[in-house]
Amino acid sequence: MLVMKFGGTSVETAEAIGRVAEIVRQRVAMRPVVVVSAMGKTTNKLLAIGHRAIAGEVAAALAGLAELRDFHLHESDGLETVTGLFDQLSSLVNGLAVIGELTPRATDALCSFGERISSLIVTALFRKRGIDAVHIDARDLIVTDKRHTQAAPVWAQTNARLAKALPDLASAHVVVMGGFIASTEEGVTTTLGRGGSDYTASIVGAGIGAQEIQIWTDVDGILTADPTILPGGYRVKVCSFAEAAELAYFGAKVLHPATVLPASEKNIPVRILNSRRSEVEGTLIVSHPPASSTPIRSIACKRNITLMNIVSSRMLMAHGFLRRIFEVFDRFETPVDMLATSEVSVSLTVDNAGWLEAIRREIETFAEVSVEENQAIICLVGENIRNSPGVSPRLFTALGGTKARMVSQGASQLNISLVVAGGDLVRAVESLHREFFRSPDPASFAF
């Protein structure tokens, strides 16, 4: 079996879904299970509608909803099931307007409509083109905990349901399901976090022991730099699970960070492919890719990072100082990405700044805190870094006059990360890319 996941741009219109249908048709013999995202930017639009509704801008919310409905009905030729779902959605939006509050649970209910609707439309358009497609509701298969908006799978139940439902169905039909959406044991709708359709694909792939998990998107594969920062990077032909996970964690949106784990545990290869250029080989992610003479695989970036400097009020770093700091972050469920310490100070970076003010106030009861916003993390990723002497000196030479606020290389030697001011990001990535991809190994990169 094969799992094929198509992202928002790959299913953004009926025409795009037509291209997807031809890609799937060519692989029918491999018994594909097709996982789809919401069409285009539907998830963002649903959230905007929800926020308008609770802010009392009901007319604007309903206008947004009508536009979304017209679009989906137009692309699906007035599919009846889609009309029904929009009626339900309409009741939900009116309810939100009355209650005036968008709880995490309601957010999941709202967002789930994107994938519920897109998966029905994809099934119908496949059938119209003669593909024997059947729809299955992902919420009946993927069971999660109750952490709404970022729920985690309950593996035993999920795997049991996948194994029971899918292999037989997929041997006779092309199975189509929505990504991103799931439900609790009690049947309450949850979601796996933004970008979570990739994760659905790997949960399903691991659950049914698929031969390969394919992530079809709008780029040729993993590129040597984030194309929104540096266009014209090279395609990474092959990389390891560990490298892909590290890149995703440090901002490469092409893959949801949780995607790699289920696949790597079952040693199922993951392939990133372009649904508009299906002839390109993409990026293959495996446990042990062949050796490369290039020390790094790719450069990932995270924008809008906050840097926090914490100085112990006592002269020396007292015993228990780090523990006290991390207890505060733990209590506010705020992850720390990078960390550097000296005898009296700790610098760390935070991506999710939602609780930053509260965290700051608590830490200020025992230390001095300063916060710098609009910073960026640049992360050079490559398992080959550990075998390549001189990566750090090359990095500093390439940076030239650009100031690195913080640098860290973990014990795994899988990455070297640095923090620069947001305004220096593009220039720094350009310089680093020029330095490290001067003559990339043609066995590992396509250009």
Q: State the residues that interact with ligand ADP by CB under 6 A.
A: 7-10, 37, 195, 217-219, 222-223, 226-228, 252-254, 298
Let me know: does 385 contact 421? Beta carbons within 8 Å.
no
254 binds, among ligand ADP, ligand ASP, Mg ion, none (CB under 5 to 8 A by kind): ligand ADP
219 binds, among Mg ion, ligand ASP, ligand ADP, none (CB under 5 to 8 A by kind): ligand ADP
Q: Quote helix, strand, coil % in the chain, to nearest 5.
A: 45, 25, 35
Nearer to ligand ASP, 8 or 64 (CB): 8
207 makes contact with ligand ASP (CB under 6 A): no
6 makes contact with ligand ASP (CB under 6 A): no
Nearer to Mg ion, 170 or 263 (CB): 263
User: Which one among 32, 153, 195, 282 touches ligand ASP, defined by CB under 6 A?
Assistant: 195
216 makes contact with ligand ASP (CB under 6 A): no
Let me know: does 23 contact 278? Beta carbons within 8 Å.
yes
User: Which one among 40, 195, 251, 440 touches Mg ion, defined by CB under 5 A?
Assistant: 195
User: Which one among 105, 194, 276, 303 touches ligand ASP, defined by CB under 6 A?
Assistant: 194
In angstroms, what is the minimal distance from the CB of 98 to ligand ASP? 26
403: left (phi over 0), alpha (psi -120 to 50) or beta: beta
In angstroms, what is the minimal distance from the CB of 179 to ligand ASP? 5
196 makes contact with ligand ASP (CB under 6 A): yes
Q: Which residues of 266-305 are buried (b: 16+ CB within 10 A; e: fewer)?
A: eebbbbbbbbeeeeeebbbbbeebeebebbbbbbbbbeeb
Q: Residues in the chain, how many?
A: 447
In angstroms, what is the minimal distance from the CB of 435 to Mg ion? 29
Pull the structure tokens for residue 142.
């993927």
Q: Which residues of 24-61 are buried (b: 16+ CB within 10 A; e: fewer)?
A: beeeeeebbbbbbbbbbebbebbbebbebbbeeebeeb
What span, in angstroms and rounded, lies between the C-alpha atoms of 396 and 139? 49
**Which residue type does 103 have?**
T
227 binds, among ligand ASP, Mg ion, ligand ADP, none (CB under 5 to 8 A by kind): ligand ADP
Q: How far is CA 43 from CA 40, 46, 47, 193, in A?
A: 8, 5, 6, 11
8 makes contact with ligand ASP (CB under 6 A): yes
HSE of 416 in the Cβ direction (CA atoms, 13 Å)? 19
In angstroms, what is the minimal distance from the CB of 221 to ligand ADP? 7
Query: Is residue 15 exposed (0-12), middle (13-18) or buried (19+ Cβ within 10 Å)?
Result: exposed
Instruction: Tell me which residues in 1-20 interact with Mg ion (CB under 5 A).
Output: 7
312 makes contact with ligand ASP (CB under 6 A): no
In angstroms, what is the minimal distance from the CB of 177 to ligand ASP? 13
3-state secondary structure of 201: helix
Nearer to ligand ADP, 189 or 214 (CB): 214
Nearer to ligand ADP, 143 or 222 (CB): 222
282 makes contact with Mg ion (CB under 5 A): no
Nearer to Mg ion, 245 or 399 (CB): 245
Q: Closest-CB residue for ligand ADP?
A: 7
114 makes contact with Mg ion (CB under 5 A): no
197 makes contact with ligand ASP (CB under 6 A): yes
What 3 state SS string does 387-446 have?
A: HCCCHHHHHHHHHCCCCCCEEEECCCCCEEEEEEEHHHHHHHHHHHHHHHCCCCCCCCEE
Instruction: Tell me which residues in 26-45 interact with ligand ASP (CB under 6 A).
Output: 37-38, 43
Q: How far is CA 104 from CA 108, 129, 268, 388, in A?
A: 6, 38, 33, 46
Instruction: Tell me which residues in 381-410 interact with ligand ASP (CB under 6 A).
Output: none
Nearer to ligand ADP, 193 or 227 (CB): 227
189 makes contact with ligand ASP (CB under 6 A): no
194 binds, among ligand ASP, ligand ADP, Mg ion, none (CB under 5 to 8 A by kind): ligand ASP
Residues in contact with 1: Cβ distance below 8 Å, sequence separation at least 6, in sequence order:
30, 31, 32, 33, 166, 167, 170, 208, 209, 210, 211
Specify which residues 419 forms β-bridges with. Answer: 377, 406
114 makes contact with ligand ASP (CB under 6 A): yes
Applying CB under 6 A, the site for ligand ASP has a residue count of 12
By CB under 5 A, name the binding residues for Mg ion.
Answer: 7, 195
By CB under 6 A, name the binding residues for ligand ASP.
Answer: 7-8, 37-38, 43, 114, 179-180, 194-197
